[in-house]
Amino acid sequence: MKRFCLLALFASATAVARADEGMWLFNRPPAQQIKAAYGFELTPEWLDHVQKSAVRISTGGSGSLVSADGLVMTNHHVGSDKIAELSTKERDLLKDGFHARALGEELKCPNIEMDVLWTIEDVSAKVEAAVGTGMSNAQVAAARRAKLAEIESEAKQKAGKGFKCEIVTLWQGARYHLYTYKTWDDVRLVFAPEKGIGFFGGDADNFEYPRYCLDVCFFRIYEDGKPLKAERHLEWSPDGAGDGELVFVAGHPGRTERLNTWAHLEYMRDFQYPATMRALWRREVLLATFSGRGEDNRREAEDEYFGVQNSRKARTGIYAGLLDPTFMARKFRAELELRAAVAANPEWSAQWGDGWDLVAQAKKVQREMVVRFTALGGPGMGLGGDLWAKAATIVRWAEESGKPDGARLREYRSTAKSTLERGLYSEAPIHLDLEVERMASALQNMAELLGGGDPTVVRALAGKSVQARAEELVRGTKLADIAERKRLFEGGAAAVAESKDPLIQLARLLDPENRLQRKRFEEEVDPLEKEGYSKVAAARFAKEGEGLYPDATFTLRLSYGAIKGYEQEGKPVPPFTNFAGLYERGAARGNAYPFEVPASWMKAKSKLNPATPFNFVSTNDILGGNSGSPVINAKKQVVGLIFDGNIQSLVLGIGYDETQGRAVSVDSRGLAEALLKVYDASELHAELMAGKR
pLDDT in tens, 125-165: 999 999 998 999 889 989 999 999 999 999 999 999 999 99
Distance, in Å, from the CA atom of 492 to the CA atom of 500, rounded to the nearest integer, reads 15
User: In sequence order, which ranges of 230-272 are alpha helices (DSSP H)?
Assistant: 262-267
SS3 content of the chain, % helix, strand, coil (to 5): 50, 15, 35
Across 526-551, average pLDDT: 93
What is the pLDDT at residue 657?
Answer: 85
* Percent of the chain topping pLDDT 70: 97
Q: What backbone phi and psi angles, to 5 degrees, belong to 383?
A: -80, -30
What is the pLDDT at residue 598?
Answer: 98
pLDDT reading at 416 higher than 50:
yes
Distance, in Å, from the CA atom of 70 to the CA atom of 532, rounded to the nearest integer, reads 44
Please state, in angstroms and as integers, the Cα–Cα distance from residue 318 to each residue in 162, 258, 607, following that order. 38, 11, 42
Q: Which residues contact 664 (CB under 8 A, 6 or more apart)?
A: 209, 211, 615, 616, 617, 642, 643, 644, 645, 646
Q: Which residues contact 340 (CB under 8 A, 6 or more apart)?
A: none
Nearest to 127 by CA among 182, 181, 180, 170: 170
Q: Which residues contact 678 (CB under 8 A, 6 or more apart)?
A: 600, 601, 604, 608
What is the pLDDT at residue 2?
Answer: 32
Across 558-566, average pLDDT: 98
What is the pLDDT at residue 18?
Answer: 55
User: In sequence order, which ranges of 376-481 are alpha helices (DSSP H)?
Assistant: 386-400, 417-424, 432-450, 455-461, 466-476
Across 598-626, average pLDDT: 97
Across 305-313, average pLDDT: 91
**Pairing label, strands 566-568, 557-562:** unpaired
Identify the band that residue 194 occupies on the pLDDT scale cut at 50, 70 and 90.
very high
What is the pLDDT at residue 237?
Answer: 96
CA-atom Rg of the chain in angstroms:
25
pTM of the predicted model as reported, rounded to 2 decimal places: 0.91
pLDDT reading at 1 higher than 50:
no
pLDDT reading at 11 higher than 90:
no
pLDDT in tens, 205-258: 999 999 999 999 999 999 999 999 999 999 999 999 999 999 999 999 999 999
User: Residue 615 in contact with residue 665, Cβ under 8 Å?
Assistant: yes
What is the pLDDT at residue 13?
Answer: 38
What is the pLDDT at residue 89?
Answer: 87
Residue 99, burial from CB neighbour count under 10 angstroms (0-12, 13-18, 19+) = middle
Chain mean position to CA 213: 21
Write the DSSP assignment of 137-204 as a string of letters: HHHHHHHHHHHHHHHHHHHHHHH-TTEEEEEEEEGGGTEEEEEEEEEE--EEEEEE--HHHHTTTHHH
What is the pLDDT at residue 384?
Answer: 86
Across 283-287, average pLDDT: 94
Across 5-9, 366-370, 646-650, 656-660, least confident range: 5-9
Distance, in Å, from the CA atom of 60 to the CA atom of 58, rounded to the nearest integer, reads 5
Identify the band that residue 493 occupies on the pLDDT scale cut at 50, 70 and 90.
very high
Identify the band that residue 12 occupies on the pLDDT scale cut at 50, 70 and 90.
very low
Give 138's Cβ-side CA count (13 Å radius).
3
pLDDT in tens, 72-119: 999 999 999 999 999 998 999 999 999 999 999 999 999 999 999 999
Distance, in Å, from the CA atom of 429 to the CA atom of 413, rounded to the nearest integer, reads 27
Please state, in angstroms and as integers, the Cα–Cα distance from residue 196 to each residue in 221, 450, 672, following that order. 26, 42, 18
* Strands, E assignment, 275-318: none
What is the pLDDT at residue 546?
Answer: 80
What is the pLDDT at residue 10?
Answer: 33
Long-range contacts of 152-159 (CB under 8 A, 24+ apart): 152/178, 152/413, 152/415, 153/405, 153/413, 153/414, 153/415, 155/180, 156/415, 158/1, 159/1
User: Residue 31 in contact with residue 562, Cβ under 8 Å?
Assistant: no
* Percent of the chain topping pLDDT 90: 92
pLDDT in tens, 251-278: 999 999 999 999 999 999 999 999 999 9
Distance, in Å, from the CA atom of 261 to the CA atom of 257, rounded to the nearest integer, reads 9
What is the pLDDT at residue 127?
Answer: 95
User: Residue 222 in contact with residue 72, Cβ under 8 Å?
Assistant: no
pLDDT reading at 489 higher than 80:
yes
pLDDT reading at 15 higher than 80:
no
Beta bridge partners of 54: 64
Calculate the average pLDDT of the chain. 94
Write the DSSP assignment of 633-648 as a string of letters: -TTSEEEEEEEEE-GG
SS3 86: coil
